[in-house]
Amino acid sequence: MGISSTTFLSFLAGVGGTGMGGFYTFFLREVKADKMTSVLGFASGIMLTAVFSELIPEAIEISGLFHTLIGIIIGIMFLMWSDALLEFMTPQKNNTMQHFVKTGAMLFFAIASHNFPEGIAIGSGFEASELTGLVLVVTLALHNIPEGMAIATAFRLSGMSAFSAFMATALAGLPMVLGSVVGQKLGQVSPAFIAASLGFAAGAMIYTVCKEILPDTFVIGRSSPWGLIWGIITGIILFNTL
């Protein structure tokens, strides 16, 4: 398949997938923390399932534990640095809306970072066979929907308009397009590089879920843990079905 077709399909999987997740915010009549943090719990369950049932096992299979751990450590350190930078750059106000500004930004960084190596997988998949590439496009597009919901929810809780939250969410899928071009151009990319990239994405998502999302789910909104529980159950079913 030509690079233009691959780029278009990865655009649908990345920008289209996360954008679909953010589109639901247009139908919200009222933004309430105690309701919408359940969506964050659901999305975090999906994200943790993706990390431990897909990203880390796949990275270990590709290039072993060492390169995977290096990627995870770098991913966590990158998000820690981004977290510190955001706290330095944003006004120190102890209110819920300001808190969700940072949460949305952290989610954006984490999900955008994991879309890049998945884009590489799409590009490399099309180099292997057209069927492999198409299966990856559909699978990753579905995976991006709940992740897009998490970004959009955090931005809406920060006071952002539905349109702005939707646009910001869709932009998180752009790295998948760049990754697909890299994957198809290089063909068989270095296994160590792919494993480290997947590890980086896993580390970034682990940090964001544990540092930002779960505290919001259980403390700020005082919501039920069922959103997280059903997210994990749905994630396991989703990842074992596709």
Please enumerate in sequence order all residues whose Cβ is within 8 A of that of 189, keeping only pairs 6 or more positions apart, or say none. Answer: 120, 124, 182, 183
Residue 73, pLDDT score: 92
Top-confidence residue, 189 or 75: 75
Residue 217, pLDDT score: 64
Q: Which of 119-123, 209-213, 232-236 is least confident?
A: 232-236
Domain assignment present for 28: no
Please enumerate in sequence order all residues whose Cβ is within 8 A of that of 169, keeping only pairs 6 or more positions apart, or say none. Answer: 18, 19, 21, 22, 148, 151, 152, 155
Q: How many domains, in total, are found in the chain?
A: 1
Token pair belonging to 158? 């920060």
Rg (CA), the chain: 17
Please enumerate in sequence order all residues whose Cβ is within 8 A of that of 49, keeping only pairs 6 or more positions apart, or say none. Answer: 231, 232, 235, 236, 238, 239
Please enumerate in sequence order all residues whose Cβ is within 8 A of that of 88, keeping only pairs 6 or more positions apart, or say none. Answer: none
Q: Is 70 exceeded by the pLDDT of residue 195?
A: yes
Residue 145, pLDDT score: 82
Where helices occur in the chain by DSSP H, the ranges are 3-11, 17-23, 33-50, 56-89, 96-128, 130-157, 162-171, 174-186, 191-208, 214-215, 226-241
pLDDT band at 81 (very low <50, low <70, confident <90, very high): confident
Domain assignment of residue 201, given as a range: 3-23+33-241
Q: Which range is most confident: 66-70, 109-113, 143-147?
A: 66-70
Q: What's the distance, CA 179 to chain centroid?
A: 14
The span from the CA of 220 to the CA of 157, in Å, is 11
Token pair belonging to 86? 């955001």
Residue 219, pLDDT score: 57
Residue 45, pLDDT score: 75
Residue 142, pLDDT score: 76
Q: Is 78 exposed, middle or buried (0-12, 13-18, 19+ CB in 10 A)?
A: middle
The answer to whether 108 touches 89, Cβ cutoff 8 Å, is no
Residue 134, pLDDT score: 80
Label residue 174 left, alpha or beta by phi (over 0 means left) and psi (-120 to 50 means alpha).
alpha
Residue 9, pLDDT score: 87
Q: Is 60 exceeded by the pLDDT of residue 241?
A: yes
Domain assignment present for 163: yes
